[in-house]
A and B are shown apart, each in its own frame.
Chain A
């Protein structure tokens, strides 16, 4: 809690449940991308079981996040508002315009990959049912597979961008807050508008 002799005031940015969600989602998405693309790149293994079980985990945690964000969190903190558009490079509230746009894009991609993945699940033998490849027409399966694949490849682009920003020194306080939950009062004053994000100590 101290840096040298002066105490460092900490401001909570992410609760432990939200950090757990973020890292569980990160692991799930990485496992899903690796199990999807490694066999295509020539590294063959039994990937289907790992892929659909991890996809199910991702579906459940995303559902829990939507419920939590809607009921218990400030849902509007992540929504683009008129102040973001009037001063896109001004001091933001809890999240900057760029972060909100990224969240919006990743939300659309993740929801699309989950929706198409759940449909594709019907073509896999599970403890709950036997596969039914004729559940949709050949043309519609083609559309589902194409959407799933394109979204998965777009997620690779998005993750590279996300990791780049997480590793930038000027964004390190945000990465630390996703690891340990807090930013310092100085970081809060330097990077945020207190009228738009009234942070609690």
Chain B
């Protein structure tokens, strides 16, 4: 094999492909994986732009890989394709003991692509994973469907928080997270209305099962709902969410947006932030993908080689047609 490479943050706004350091020997419970496909998430774009995960960090956390070296008694053998859960907890802090590992005190240190090297590389070491952190991809499932396992888990967490036992959900924004939320909501049996200004994204929302789409630039009074989920971090979207949420309803904010502000008056509604997911939600996501109940590969608009990582991280910002960019080492 040629010299393995990885893409790492050289300086804020400067991500470079470099030769990976020599791999350490595999620990007795570790997995070595060859990366097959990695999605570009807004978090990766932010890490690359801000450098806030530290210089030399390797971003990329929506990972499909092939196991190349594993312990003899591992549940995944060499050659298996796997979906990897990047969020990891210490198991000892208050949050982990409460089952909230996505809020672990050491999450930033332990999470793949933040404290640990991520997937924009040829090879990835997954240290001592458990079976709920590395899940085999079923035969016949395309890498470009499996690469959605992580964002679909994020969406499942947000949708469950917003809809509870309800029957309907309004999703504001039909970007990658919004589209995952629509797919997750449909998988949970909810009726979904999507609000999105871009026509291609409204079409994509209908294509994956939204019952109704609304263009907020032409509709001044979207229908009221008891469950509203925002997936974009803009002040206008946040204000709309609180405007259309019925009294006693729930508004969940799953998007990030530096500088975005909530409206001054939130109204008689419950406002909730949603971030990450629980281990069982990642497993639910992989089950939906492996069973074929959720197929999102059609939403991959760009496949980019690792050597062009700089372009891959720019496309979500510069190309209005971009929905999901996938890096293929």
Chain A complexes with chain B: no
B interface vs A, CB < 8 Å?
none
Which of A's residues lie within 8 Å of B, judged by CB?
none
